[in-house]
């Protein structure tokens, strides 16, 4: 077995999930994640954790949802009991076919999702971490060969997380003490307020309230956005390709939009509810192991020299106690490059220029 | 997908497990059982059951047990809660490698098993059913090509179970009303008492207290065995090939034994405890879809024209209320052919001769 798989498992168990002896762990294994699951099981055994292994398959999910009449029971007791009694949940992604559910009607999927709210909350109440094992399907989605995609995934996952967490703490500290962010780049000049908001140092560990491996972003919850922004990182949203989305904001709300591709899906997102027209997240990608977009939000939004903004729901962890922030049924991330000619300003001071932070060589 | 996979799933869900709307079902999927799991998920969806899917892998089990120091927590809460809240458990076997655990020390496996007694009991308290999907590894163990093995499995599984249950009811009725069984075959002349014992009509359905698919045997709990028996169906016991085991009984206990191959493992089994020297089960195979031994006890013991005897533990369902029957840490089945020249007598009357029961054509 590729030694990096074992290192991935150790990073997941020790750095990300902080598993200790006696922890009741649920490990959810996608169809193509068998090898990572085997390595993770060995590490969990070494740490003395107790293991239940679930199987996550788009094909099985599709078969179940297709067979069902759509009148789902609410929060089945056996699954709820499993998560209510779990300390940690490790989600090992890695499908065989990222389009396996493509012919399940969206309404059926939504109804199933709505029937599982307490199960989902019980799972989110654990020390959960989501990661992926490189499969052919994910390599294909990224437009890469499997060996090249494996290199890409391990470059992103096998970081010096302690060191990156330290670097990200500097940006968090700057944002926490400030009132306004301005982003200037090709096709972008946008300002927003972050007054009173708290940034999250998302360092791929439950210790940092960060639940993705890889991670490597600092994010907060902006408001009162004004100006225009162009998102030049290609994406797929709801199965549709989206390119060069341009949004114009006044008084915190989108007042105009266009896109070179996928304009209609952006329109659908904006029409969801009032909150979908406002930003729920400003995130700064800082993972230098991620050097290109791969059409996977888990990786793309953490890419160094990018900024992402999400239309819709804000995260509670960024808000003052008792404040609810922007609310919406959606949270859709859009990403823009911060390379040559770009500036990230906080309260009028340049924090990042041409992709380099002010504490980096070459700033 | 082979249509027989879907028929297998329907037999499992409807005939065997009797799943109804709202049932909380755990489906445990072996590495190679993905296709059967997909078909079963569709049927479970159609019936309106609630599904949690577990992954069962010899490789993951080996990794966990190898990593662990062997001091296992007793009955971890999350797994116990899952089974305590489940109505049915469907176990879909079908490994990639039947020897995947071969280098895990037996003591480690036993310690893990001992730590999970309440979990095991909670699972056995559900309407559980165990079946297998044909994999290359199982075909290889049977000495067959995959297509031939698939035919074999579906011949065994896709029976007219209603009709077979009716036929088996005749033998159950004869055994329930009788005191003594005598088995005469090549190398065998054995008598045993079944006075007061109740036979189980094992018709591959929880309705019949039968938890294997395929099944197709009638079994009871004998005592006071006397005479000699030769088991000419080849088997693997504890990883060792066993051929032509001969046992001699006096007063219910084995007093002498020999084997053409694997004599030492038979000696080990007999030395386990006092109960291991006595019989816990007399079973009569009646599944005419199983036409050859395949070195898998799930199939072999149900093969038509065979009888099997188990050294060790008896099943409670065969015993009068309050009686405990033969007790032992082991239950090891051995099988003998009942073909030409054989007789199965009950209270002095011939019930089966040359492999044919008295209600069959050609008796």
Tell if the CB–CB gap between A78 and B52 is shorter than 8 Å.
Answer: yes
- Whether residue A363 is contained in a domain is answered as no
Question: Smallest Cβ distance to B76: which of A24, A29, A39?
Answer: A24
Q: Are A233 and A105 contained in the same domain?
A: no
Tell if the CB–CB gap between A68 and B48 is shorter than 8 Å.
Answer: yes
Q: Are A203 and A292 contained in the same domain?
A: yes
Q: Is the pLDDT of residue A182 over 90?
A: yes
Q: Are B100 and B181 contained in the same domain?
A: no
Q: Is the pLDDT of residue A238 over 90?
A: no
Q: Are B91 and B239 contained in the same domain?
A: no
Q: Which residues of B touch A46 (CB under 8 A)?
A: 67-68
Nearest in space to A335 (alpha carbons), one of A232, A256, A260: A232
Question: Smallest Cβ distance to B81: which of A53, A66, A82?
Answer: A82
pLDDT tens digits, one per residue of B68-97: 999 999 999 999 999 999 999 999 999 999
Tell if the CB–CB gap between A73 and B34 is shorter than 8 Å.
Answer: no
Tell me the average pLDDT of chain B: 96
**Distance (Å) from the C-alpha of residue B115 to the closest C-alpha of chain A?**
11
- Whether residue A55 is contained in a domain is answered as yes
Q: Are A14 and A62 contained in the same domain?
A: yes
Q: Which residues of B touch A81 (CB under 8 A)?
A: 78, 81-82, 84-85
pLDDT tens digits, one per residue of B248-301: 999 999 999 999 999 999 999 999 999 999 999 999 999 999 999 999 999 999
Q: What is the reported pLDDT for B321?
A: 87
Q: What is the reported pLDDT for A135?
A: 98
- Whether residue B99 is contained in a domain is answered as yes
Q: Are B145 and B179 contained in the same domain?
A: no
Query: How far apart (Å, rounded) are the C-alpha atoms in residues A92 and A95?
Result: 10
Question: Smallest Cβ distance to A82: which of B38, B44, B52?
Answer: B52
Last residue within a domain, chosen from B95, B129, B157? B157
Residue B2 phi/psi, 5-degree rounding, is -50, 125
The answer to whether the CB of A30 falls within 8 A of the CB of A94 is yes
**Distance (Å) from the C-alpha of residue A298 to the closest C-alpha of chain B?**
24
Q: Which residues of B touch A64 (CB under 8 A)?
A: 41-42, 44-45, 51
Last residue within a domain, chosen from B157, B173, B200? B157
B200-202 β-sheet, strand order: B200-202, B217-220, B279-285, B306-312, B331-337
The verdict on whether omega for the bond into residue B214 sits within 30 degrees of 0, i.e. cis, is yes
Q: What is the reported pLDDT for B56?
A: 98
- Whether residue B363 is contained in a domain is answered as no
pLDDT tens digits, one per residue of B172-195: 999 999 999 999 999 999 999 999
Q: Which residues of A touch B52 (CB under 8 A)?
A: 54, 76, 78-79, 82
Q: Are A175 and A140 contained in the same domain?
A: no
DSSP A162-224: HHHHHHHHHHHHHHHT-SEEEEEETTEEEEEE-TT---EEE-SSGGGT--BSS--EEEE--EE
Q: What is the reported pLDDT for A106?
A: 85
**Distance (Å) from the C-alpha of residue B87 to the closest C-alpha of chain A?**
9
Number of structural domains found in chain B: 2
Q: What is the reported pLDDT for B29?
A: 98
Question: Smallest Cβ distance to A78: which of B24, B37, B45?
Answer: B24
The answer to whether the CB of A277 falls within 8 A of the CB of A225 is no
Tell if the CB–CB gap between B57 and A38 is shorter than 8 Å.
Answer: yes
Tell if the CB–CB gap between A42 and B51 is shorter than 8 Å.
Answer: no
Q: Which of the 8 DSSP states describes residue B265?
A: H
Q: Is the pLDDT of residue B322 over 90?
A: no
> Which CATH number fits the domain that encloses residue B70?
3.40.1830.10
Q: Please tell me which residue of chain A has the smallest CA distance to B116.
A: A50
**Distance (Å) from the C-alpha of residue B23 to the closest C-alpha of chain A?**
9
Query: Does an H or E element contain A93, and which?
Result: strand A88-93
Tell if the CB–CB gap between B67 and A45 is shorter than 8 Å.
Answer: yes
Percentage of chain A exceeding pLDDT 70: 100
pLDDT tens digits, one per residue of B130-152: 999 999 999 999 999 999 999 99
**Distance (Å) from the C-alpha of residue A114 to the closest C-alpha of chain B?**
14
Q: Are A23 and A153 contained in the same domain?
A: yes
- Whether residue A362 is contained in a domain is answered as no
Expressed in angstroms, the distance from the first to the final Cα of chain B is: 41
Tell if the CB–CB gap between A71 and B53 is shorter than 8 Å.
Answer: no
DSSP B131-185: EE---HHHHHHHT--HHHHHHHHHHHHSS-HHHHHHHHHHHHHHHHT-SEEEEEE
Nearest in space to B141 (alpha carbons), one of B236, B263, B212, B242: B236
- Whether residue A240 is contained in a domain is answered as yes
Q: Are B152 and B169 contained in the same domain?
A: no
Last residue within a domain, chosen from A131, A157, A183? A157
**Distance (Å) from the C-alpha of residue B150 to the closest C-alpha of chain A?**
21
Beta-bridge mates of residue B308: B283, B335
Tell if the CB–CB gap between B48 and A69 is shorter than 8 Å.
Answer: yes
- Whether residue B78 is contained in a domain is answered as yes
What is the span of the domain harbouring residue B300? Answer: 161-357
Q: Are A178 and A255 contained in the same domain?
A: yes
Q: Are A151 and A177 contained in the same domain?
A: no
Q: What is the reported pLDDT for B106?
A: 85
Tell me the average pLDDT of chain A: 96
Q: Please tell me which residue of chain A has the smallest CA distance to B60.
A: A38
Tell me the ipTM for this assembly: 0.92
Q: Please tell me which residue of chain B has the smallest CA distance to A96.
A: B34
β-strands B235-237, B240-242: how paired? antiparallel
Q: Which of the 8 DSSP states describes residue B233?
A: S
Tell if the CB–CB gap between B52 and A76 is shorter than 8 Å.
Answer: yes
Q: Are A311 and A346 contained in the same domain?
A: yes
Query: How far apart (Å, rounded) are the C-alpha atoms in residues B238 and B269?
Result: 10
- Whether residue B362 is contained in a domain is answered as no
């Amino acid at each position: 077995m590729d030694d990096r798989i074992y290192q991935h498992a150790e990073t997941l168990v020790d750095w990300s999930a902080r598993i200790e002896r006696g922890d009741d762990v649920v490990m959810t294994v996608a169809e193509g994640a068998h090898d990572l699951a085997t390595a993770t099981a060995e590490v969990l055994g070494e740490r003395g954790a107790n293991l239940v292994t679930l199987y996550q398959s788009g094909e099985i999910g599709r078969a179940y949802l297709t067979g069902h009449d759509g009148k789902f029971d609410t929060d089945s007791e056996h699954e709820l009991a499993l998560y209510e009694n779990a300390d940690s949940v490790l989600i090992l992604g890695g499908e065989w076919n990222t389009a396996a559910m493509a012919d399940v009607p969206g309404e059926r999927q939504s109804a199933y999702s709505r029937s599982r709210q307490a199960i989902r909350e019980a799972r989110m109440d654990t020390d959960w971490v989501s990661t992926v094992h490189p499969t052919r399907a994910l390599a294909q989605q990224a437009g890469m060969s499997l060996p090249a995609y494996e290199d890409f995934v391990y470059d992103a996952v096998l970081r010096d997380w302690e060191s990156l967490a330290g670097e990200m703490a500097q940006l968090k500290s700057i944002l926490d003490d400030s009132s306004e962010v301005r982003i200037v780049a090709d096709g972008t000049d946008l300002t927003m307020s972050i007054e009173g908001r708290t940034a999250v140092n998302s360092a791929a560990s439950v210790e940092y309230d960060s639940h993705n491996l890889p991670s490597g972003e600092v994010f907060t919850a902006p408001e009162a956005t004004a100006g225009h922004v162009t998102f030049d990182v290609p994406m797929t949203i709801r199965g549709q390709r989206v390119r060069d989305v341009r949004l114009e904001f006044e008084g915190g709300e989108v007042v105009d939009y266009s896109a070179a591709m996928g304009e209609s899906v952006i329109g659908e997102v904006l029409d969801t509810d009032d909150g979908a027209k406002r930003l729920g997240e400003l995130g700064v990608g800082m993972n230098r192991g991620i050097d290109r977009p791969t059409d996977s939000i888990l990786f793309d939004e953490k890419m160094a020299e990018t900024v992402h903004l999400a239309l819709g729901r804000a995260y509670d962890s960024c808000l003052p106690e008792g404040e609810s922030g922007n609310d919406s049924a959606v949270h859709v991330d859009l990403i823009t490059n911060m390379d040559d000619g770009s500036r990230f300003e906080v309260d009028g001071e340049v924090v990042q220029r041409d992709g380099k932070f002010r504490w980096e060589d070459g700033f």
